[in-house]
Amino acid sequence: MQKRTLGQDLEVSALGLGCMGMSSAYGPAADKGEMIKLIHAAYDLGVTHFDTAEAYGPFANEELVGEALQPIRAQVTIATKFGFDIDLETGQRTGGTNSKPDHIKAVADACLRRLRTDHIDLFYQHRVDPGVPIEDVAGAVKELIAQGKVKHFGMSEAGVQTIRRAHAVQPVTAVQSEYSLFYRGPEAELLPALEELGIGFVPFSPLGAGFLAGKIDENTKFDPTDFRNFVPRFTPEARKANMVLVELVKSVAERKGATPAQVALAWLLAQKPWIVPIPGTTKLHRLEENLGAVDLELTEADLKQINEASSGLKLEGARLPEAVLKMTGL
């Protein structure tokens, strides 16, 4: 597996593994034993970077990741996230965002216990808290880094000016936001700023929540608890309209002897050498398929074809519900 560097010195596998879907968001939680096997398989295939959060479950995903990675802890990097008002004893959501410094420090200690480790490699603010100055957030993480509990500071779904302010207090190693052929918002302002500041980028939903893999159409039925039921871009009408993008990706895949998912991930990897996508899955064959993207070379002509053909497409539907978009500030 090829390696990439986030920020100045966090070396990780070129593709990480997003673990959220193993416990939440895409329907009922998968079998814990099977997911531990899947995480081990990912490591055996070269994945060294694993992404989780206290909010996934809540807590269940961190506990899963911690148990799975405990035997190989020294060989991997773990990213987790703070920033929501979650009762640290019960796991109940008690409010919206919460990045008060004392809460961040308490969350860090709780994450360490669940992850069965003495340090968090990459600690993201999951969502910007409008009630707490970002300088105070960065300062709290700076203290955790000084104590050895955290190695690197990350931010998720943050705007450029907020990132700049945080970076001035404690260097930001990575920013995580949605980015794929299905959503290219970061290209306008975020990516240029990250390049200027030397910050790595970790795209979540690099396959457009599964849409770019080519297995979803307007007739697909999601589990009642699947978050895509509430996403404007996943209404049946929007899916039908947006299939034009999937057909484009499929056409490139056929020509390259690859799958649509591999083309979508290879396209992301080709954008910048400091981009590390974190596709998630609960299936071994999908994991193996996704990792094949690292060895898929898209030529300049391939990339030009994709960019020219996709730039003229008008995709239907917002990427997230309006209430969630307001929380991101993007």
Active site amino acids = 56
Q: From CA 306, how far away is CA 247, in angstroms rounded? A: 11
Question: Which helix (DSSP H) or strand (DSSP E) does residue 73 occupy?
Answer: none
> Beta-carbon neighbour count of residue 138 at 10 Å?
22
Residue 325: alpha-carbon gap to chain centroid: 16
Tell me which residue of 33, 35, 40 sits closest to 70, measured CA to CA: 40
Q: What is the dihedral of CA 290, 291, 295, 296, to 10 degrees?
A: 0
Please report how many Cα atoms fall inside a 13 Å half-sphere around the Cα of residue 302, on the Cβ side: 20
Retrieve residue 191's tokens: 């990516």
Tell me which residue of 186, 194, 242 sits closest to 214, measured CA to CA: 242
Place of tokens 């939680």: 29
Retrieve residue 293's tokens: 């993207």
Instruction: Name the CA radius of gyration of the chain, rounded.
Output: 19
Question: Which helix (DSSP H) or strand (DSSP E) does residue 35 occupy?
Answer: helix 32-44
Q: From CA 182, how far away is CA 213, in angstroms rounded? A: 11
DSSP 29: P
Tell me which residue of 289, 293, 273 sits closest to 11, measured CA to CA: 273
Per DSSP, which regions of the chain are E strands? 3-6, 10-13, 17-18, 49-51, 77-82, 84-86, 93-97, 120-125, 150-156, 172-178, 200-204
